Chain A
């Protein structure tokens, strides 16, 4: 029930939006995220965007994973 998936905003008309998930387009409401813009990724839950995904933070998180991986490689060469 907490399931929300990343979806790309393709078009906006007032509070109605069209989003794309895995190549499939569907209608969504941005009543809860009026700040969403075309090109943003949102978290889609039961037809509503509940948050705009912070792409910078997403990259930061991946960077952290990379740093952890490199640290592990350094500390355990086997």
Chain B
């Protein structure tokens, strides 16, 4: 397939790896922030191909994984209300919340539907005028503009029974929070590819400037990731951290201005509640007052109860790269894709799911 296959060429990959192996002399602790990168790195065995100077750590860039139990409890409470149809991306349906999951509510008779797009959710709203259709908005800056677009379409087409529960989050503030916590020492960051397609490269400039950490925005194919690592090594070896775009076919420095405009037309910045990290100021999105008629939080009485974290689950530590999936006592034995305990195993982009699926680090 065009724009995919060419970036999977194994022969070119070997050459990139050889170049990285030659040039990497200083220790380089690199964090891949985005869940999509975690999966690609695991799937293509990239960790094992890199020289021992390079350590790859997985960060909290999986929006499903970082959805706080308290927030998912809200979605579940909404799902139990009469006359409500919940529409959600597939990944969210199995995530265990404090006492239940969306899948469980569905099994108990709740109307919970997996959708590929908010466009499908809008159609469901149009097709069920006597019901309230609530879309569970999970995702970073890649997804939030698409949800904003759906709210604008609802307004345009007078779809009065469409609502959004906004659990959206922003990436740069949480990177700052992680770096400020001092828990993880980093030399470089593999910056998210599609978040950056929306926000561009400028929002990351504080990272090399204030923390001296190298930043390269990466695509998702194996050659993209290797190119990114090569560029990070270059910055680290030269001692000149900056923000660079490796994924130039997908990301412009200014990002997608129209998408950003639509996103901030509908949403405003608020505090975000990140599983395993806590509240990070200015890292969330909520609907503006002007669009409150579409805000599930303002239009429904949500009785969610006290949030409870699953016993023994260290997803929080894994998300902050303080622990690896293999450090978790529940990994594989108790927590696996069939019976996940925490979100890192449920989500297709979760670190634990990636390790389980691709056998990363087994035997090391």
| A interface, CB within 8 angstroms of B | 1-6, 8, 21-22, 27, 29, 31-34, 41, 43, 45-48, 50-51, 53-55, 57-58, 60-62, 64-66, 68-69, 71-73, 76
Q: Report the separation of the CA atoms of residues A8 and B252 in the bound assembly, to the nearest whole angstrom.
A: 19
| B interface, CB within 8 angstroms of A | 1-4, 6-7, 9, 11-12, 15-16, 18-19, 34-36, 61-64, 89, 91, 116-120, 138-140, 142-143, 145-146, 149, 152-153, 192-195, 197-198, 223, 227, 230, 246, 248-252, 256, 258-259, 262, 347, 349
Known: A2-B195, A31-B149, A32-B258. A41 touches B36 (CB 8 A): no
Measured CB to CB, the closest approach of chain B to A29, in angstroms, equals: 6
Known: A47-B118, A61-B249, A66-B12. A1 touches B64 (CB 8 A): yes
Contacts of A76 in B (CB 8 A): 18
Contacts of A3 in B (CB 8 A): 36, 194, 349
Contacts of A46 in B (CB 8 A): 89, 116-118, 143, 146
Measured CB to CB, the closest approach of chain A to B45, in angstroms, equals: 19
In the bound complex, do residue B19 and residue A34 qualify as a contact, i.e. CB atoms below 8 Å apart?
Answer: no
Q: Report the separation of the CA atoms of residues A62 and B50 in the bound assembly, to the nearest whole angstrom.
A: 21
Contacts of B116 in A (CB 8 A): 46-47
Q: Report the separation of the CA atoms of residues A32 and B262 in the bound assembly, to the nearest whole angstrom.
A: 8
In the bound complex, do residue B256 and residue A6 qualify as a contact, i.e. CB atoms below 8 Å apart?
Answer: no
In the bound complex, do residue A1 and residue B12 qualify as a contact, i.e. CB atoms below 8 Å apart?
Answer: no
13 residue pairs of the A-B complex, CB under 8 angstroms, read: A1-B64, A1-B349, A2-B140, A53-B250, A54-B250, A54-B252, A60-B248, A61-B227, A61-B248, A61-B249, A68-B15, A68-B19, A69-B12
In the bound complex, do residue A43 and residue B146 qualify as a contact, i.e. CB atoms below 8 Å apart?
Answer: no
Q: Report the separation of the CA atoms of residues A32 and B141 in the bound assembly, to the nearest whole angstrom.
A: 13
